[in-house]
Amino acid sequence: MISRTFALALAIVAALHGYIGWRLLPALPGQPWASIAGTLFLLASLAAIPAGLTAHGIRRQSLADRITWVGMLAMGLFSTLLVTTLLRDLALLAAGLLLLDADLNVWRRWSALAVLAASGLISLIGFVNARRVARIRRVDVPIAGLPQALHGFSIAQISDIHVGPTIKQGYLARIVDAVNRLEADMVAITGDLVDGSVAALGSHVLPLERLSARHGAYFVTGNHEYYSNVHAWLPVLRRLGLRVLMNEHVILSHNGGRLLLAGVTDYSAHHFDRSHRSDPQAALQGADPDHAVRILLAHQPRTAAAAAEAGFDLQLSGHTHGGQFFPWNFFVPLQQPFVAGLNRLQQLWVYTSRGTGYWGPPKRFGAPSEITHIRLVPA
C-alpha cells in the first residue's frame, strides 16, 4: 500500500521529470530521435528512483541491492540534471533581456547540450569521489590549559559511513586500513554507521573488529541507527570491540595526563526511545570537575548548545555530509548550526566531519569525504 506522502513525492518527481523534458528535449539537435531517446531516458529514471527507494522490501538481498544501485544512480543524475536545467533557464532569461536583437535558438540548442554534458560529467566525478577511500584531513584543535601530557593527543574520527545497499564490507575494510595507518591514540565513530538490519549487514561491519588505537575505539549513535533497529545493533558493535557511549563518559589516562571522553545518543533519539534522550549533562555525571580536557562525541552539530552549557572543550560531530553535493549544502544550515570543519561556540570547539561514506546517491561533489586526524594542541 503506497502512502499518501510517498504518492505525493512521486507526483512531484514526475512533474520535475516532465519539466526537464519540456525545457530540454525540443532544443536538442537530431529531432525527432533525440526527443524519443530523451523521453525514454526520463521515463526510465522516473521508474528507477522509486524502485530504488523501495527495494529494501525485496527478500532476495542481491536483487534488492542491484535495484537500489540503479535507483540511487538515477536519483543522483536526476538531481544534477534538474539543477542545471534550472540554471539554464535563468541564463536564457538573462540572455533574452540583454540580447534583445539576438536569435536565441542557437543559445537554446547549445545550452541544452551543455546541460547534458555538465550533468553527466558532474555525476561521473561525484561517483568517483564517493567511491574512493576518504582522504585524511588533519586538524589541530587549540585547547586552553592543555596539560603537557596531552600535547599532540590524536583522534581518528570517522562518521556517516552508511554501510548499506551500496556500501559493503570491502568499502569499510579500506576505511579501517586507512584509520589504522594513522596510529591515532583513539578512534571516534560519530554515528550513522549502518543503514539496514543486522541480518542484512552484520557480516559487512566485521572489519570494525580490526580497528586499532592505543585507547580503543568509541561509538555514538546517529539517527540512522534508530531507523535500523538500534537495539539489535548495539550488542553487535560491542562484540566487535567498540565502546558505545550512551550519555556517559570514560577517563583516558595518557602519558600521566587524564582526558574525559563522553558520548551522547543522537539528538533525535528520544523520538524512537524515550530512555535514549540525548543529554550532555548526564554524560558528565560523577565526573571530577578538575579534568582539564573534556571531549564529547555527538552525531549532530546541534547538540553543541547543550555541550557548551555543560562545559565541554571539544565536540566531534558528523551528520551533515557537508551537503554531499550541490545544491544540498545550502539547505544544511536550515537545520544545523555548522555544515563542516572547525567552528567555535562560546568556549566550545565543534568539529563537523563531512562524513567518511555517503548516503543515498553514490555521489560527492564539492563536499569531499574524510577520515579526520585530530590533534590536541595548546592554545
**In sequence order, what DSSP letters do the residues of 169-182 get, joined into one string?**
HHHHHHHHHHHHHH
The set of cell numbers assigned to 300 is 549532530
Higher-pLDDT residue of 372, 30: 372
What is the mean predicted confidence (pLDDT) over 40-51? 96
Q: What integer pLDDT is reported at residue 101 of this predicted model? A: 60
Contact 165, 68 (CB under 8 A): yes
- What's the half-sphere exposure (Cβ side, CA atoms, 13 Å) at 352? 22
CA distances from 82 to 4, 24, 174, 193, 359 (A): 24, 11, 33, 30, 19
- The yes-or-no verdict on residue 288 having pLDDT over 90 is no
Q: Which of 63-77, 83-97, 217-231 has the lowest mean pLDDT?
A: 83-97
pLDDT tens for 301-355 read 999 999 999 999 999 999 999 999 888 888 899 999 999 999 999 999 999 999 9
Question: Domain locations in the chain?
Answer: 4-131, 135-378
Share of the chain above pLDDT 90, in %: 86
Q: What integer pLDDT is reported at residue 291 of this predicted model? A: 67
CA distances from 162 to 39, 204, 241, 299, 304 (A): 33, 11, 19, 13, 23
The set of cell numbers assigned to 231 is 537495539
What is the mean predicted confidence (pLDDT) over 124-138? 97
- State how far the Cα of 187 lies from the Cα of 38, in Å rounded to an integer: 48
AA letter at 27: A
**In sequence order, what DSSP letters do the residues of 54-117 get, joined into one string?**
HGGG-SSHHHHHHHHHHHHHHHHHHHHHHHHHHHHHHHHHHHHHH-TTS-HHHHHHHHHHHHHH
Nearest Cα to Cα of residue 180 among 205, 213, 138: 213
- State how far the Cα of 23 lies from the Cα of 27, in Å rounded to an integer: 8
Return the axis-axis angle of helices 33-54 and 4-24, rounded to nearest 10°. Answer: 160
- The yes-or-no verdict on residue 159 having pLDDT over 80 is yes
- Contacts made by residues 105-110, CB under 8 angstroms, sequence distance 24+: 108/27, 109/27, 109/28, 109/29
CATH superfamily of 135-378: Metallo-dependent phosphatases (3.60.21.10)
What is the mean predicted confidence (pLDDT) over 233-247? 98
Tell me 328's DSSP state.
Answer: G
What is the mean predicted confidence (pLDDT) over 111-119? 96
Per-residue confidence band for 31, with pLDDT thresholds at 50, 70 and 90? confident
- State how far the Cα of 106 lies from the Cα of 195, in Å rounded to an integer: 47
CA distances from 6 to 9, 14, 49, 67, 69 (A): 5, 12, 12, 18, 20
- The yes-or-no verdict on residue 66 having pLDDT over 60 is yes
Contact 301, 308 (CB under 8 A): no
Average pLDDT of the chain to the nearest whole number: 94
- The yes-or-no verdict on residue 1 having pLDDT over 80 is no
pLDDT tens for 244-277 read 999 999 999 999 999 999 999 999 999 999 999 9
